[in-house]
Chain A
Amino acid sequence: MSDYIIETHDLTKRYGNQISVSHLNIHVKKGRIYGLLGRNGAGKTTTMRMLLGLTAPTSGEVTIFGKHFQGNEKKILPRIGCLIESPGFYPNLTGTENLKIFATLRGLKNPKYIKNALELVNLPYRDKKLFSQYSLGMKQRLAIALAVMHNPELLILDEPINGLDPIGIAEVRDFIRELCDASGKTILISSHILSEISLLADDVGIIDHGKLLEEESLKELEAKNAKFIHFCVSDAQKAAQIITTTFSSKDIRLADANNLYLYNTTLPVAKINRSFIEAGIDIQEAHLCEDTLEDYFKKITGGEGIA
């Protein structure tokens, strides 16, 4: 068997004639954080619901911990902690009472489990406040507490930082990182916020319109990003000629009369500049640029990109 914790084979979900998830093949490695990145409506939640058996796939298979999910739910699910979409709790109960319900159902008798989980997300234990009076951020924290309470090996977190304030986001990010590094947990996390994924994930899957467009480690992804030198000059046409003739590089793009992009970053920039000046071209700017992940994301999902 492979050493993937989660593996899907052509996982597909169809609602009526709309395909929400299409032939998805994701591979989540042990002890790593896998970020599923996609716009709203890309199919992240649907994918996670299928991984947890909350929604039946139209076709395709899910393998978790090396076992087929279907038929092994009772063995697999207790080893997973999850948070799917909005936090769902009983509004007439306090946070502690809510967790007590799920702890009891899981057979966790020791109140320590509840206490620790609440501590982890910075919520008070045995507080009088009812869930209906919680702020969105507190609700989200409680949902995270529920996901980690029973110390599962695998966490499936659907947009866990939704509704948190910036400090809360940083806290949650830190402890998710900690759960992975210190306790060796495998974590599948989804987000539509690219910076979150790039700050947290080891591996990234990019999903758009239900299809997995890319799957690789964050390092590879970053290395793929285009680097280029941007020249802002008085005569870009002439400058382009100099580069093609004198430096024999065709790896350029003329944006307009003044802007020129050179994609071969190994060329000697200082020498190019001197040649420009000698040819009577004024240089306003010349600098090395790098596409952000965001640009890359836009590019591969077919959105507007700059380069």
Chain B
Amino acid sequence: MVTIIKTEFIKLKRYFIIWIGVSLMLLTVLLTLFTTMADDGMTWDYQFLFEQVVKNFVTMIFPMCITLISGYMISREYTDDTLKNIETLPISFQKLLAGKLIVSAILSLFLGAVCFAFTVIANFIMGYEGFSLASALTGLVQMTLLGFFLYLTMLPIIVLTSRQRSSFLVGVIVAFVYGFIGMFANGALESIYPVTAALGLINYRSGTGGVMWNKGLCLISVLAMCAIGIAFMFIKPKPEKKEVKKTNRPAHKKGW
């Protein structure tokens, strides 16, 4: 497994998809800055910027972004026709997929950190008050972990779409909708809906009296999605295409 992970990193060299990921993180911050233009009388400070970035990160960009990156990393083995070379080593698709999912997890942490870096840079450019080293440190940890938790909630989509050449593009759309719906989750639902539960796990806005998180529920929700994703890995690969699609719908209902 270590060698698979090692080779997955070699495969990422000069790979455009990493830059798409970084660009999307930049976009998250830019998108947030645009909303500052809409002058609604709010005075922005660092804390508010951070919270707005996190909101866009969760509901707009990141679910789609990480599904896209993982999907690309997986589907390239089909499109570059390298799967035959790997399967005859022999390394099973399952093992390869497991290796890729671990690398994606590391990438989700990385992208979370990148997004935070852009946030800090934006804060400097805009000259908002309230930035401190302590807040920076918690912010870094929060956003990095948020990337990872969100990734876990996307696992079922990523795994389900991994068996076919380009069905991951459907997965990307589903992931976007899945993330976007998080915007409307309210009250207790916020701790149950996996995407917003990830926010609970990083203690988002709990201090300012915004949200009452049920941490236990949040944890269960995120872990359940992760477990479902892992379970999907053991679905027997069927060369005939019907099997995979059928299981698609009930999977999401479970999460919601």
Contact = CB atoms under 8 A, between A and B. Distances in A.
Interface in B60-92: 76, 80-91
A62 interface: no
Interface in A29-79: 49, 52-54, 56, 73-74, 77-78
A105 B86 contact: yes
A10 to B, nearest CB: 21
Nearest to A101: B7
Given A88-B82, A90-B76, A92-B13, A82 B7 contact: no
B84 A105 contact: no
A91 interface: yes
A154 B190 CA distance: 59
B4 A86 contact: no
Contact of A91 (B4, B80, B88, B89): B80
Given A77-B88, A77-B89, A88-B82, A93 B10 contact: yes
A107 B4 CA distance: 11
Contact of A101 (B11, B87, B88, B239): B11
A232 B91 CA distance: 64
Given A105-B3, A105-B4, A107-B3, A89 B82 contact: yes
B7 to A, nearest CB: 5
A53 B90 contact: yes
A202 B10 CA distance: 41
A53 B89 CA distance: 11
A271 interface: no
A97 B13 contact: yes
A33 to B, nearest CB: 20
Nearest to B10: A101
Which residue of B76, B82, B86 has the most chain A CB atoms within 10 A of its CB atom? Answer: B82
A80 B84 CA distance: 13
Interface residues of A, number: 31
A100 B84 CA distance: 17
Contacts of A101: 7, 10-11
B7 A104 contact: yes
Given A93-B10, A104-B3, A105-B3, A78 B81 contact: no
A112 interface: no
A130 to B, nearest CB: 8
B146 to A, nearest CB: 29
A74 B6 contact: no
Contact of B85 (A53, A92, A102, A130): A102
B15 interface: yes
Which residue of B7, B10, B90, B239 has the most chain A CB atoms within 10 A of its CB atom? Answer: B90
A146 interface: yes
B246 interface: no
Interface string A98-131: 0011101111000000000000000000000010
Contact of B81 (A88, A93, A107, A130): A88
Nearest to A73: B90
A242 to B, nearest CB: 63
A84 interface: yes
Given A88-B81, A90-B82, A91-B80, A102 B13 contact: no
Contact of B90 (A77, A97, A100): A77
Given A93-B11, A104-B7, A105-B4, A88 B90 contact: no
Interface in B11-38: 11, 13-16
Nearest to A97: B10
Which residue of A73, A92, A102 has the most chain B CB atoms within 10 A of its CB atom? Answer: A92
Given A53-B87, A77-B89, A90-B11, 16 more contacts: A49-B84, A53-B90, A54-B87, A54-B88, A88-B83, A89-B80, A89-B82, A90-B82, A92-B11, A92-B15, A92-B16, A97-B10, A104-B7, A105-B7, A107-B3, A130-B14
- 3 closest A-B pairs by CB: A88-B81, A77-B90, A88-B82
Interface of A: 49, 52-54, 56, 73-74, 77-78, 80, 82, 84-93, 97, 100-102, 104-107, 130, 146
22 contacts: A52-B88, A53-B87, A54-B87, A56-B239, A73-B90, A88-B84, A89-B85, A90-B80, A90-B82, A92-B14, A93-B10, A93-B14, A97-B13, A101-B7, A101-B11, A102-B86, A104-B3, A104-B7, A104-B10, A105-B4, A107-B3, A130-B14
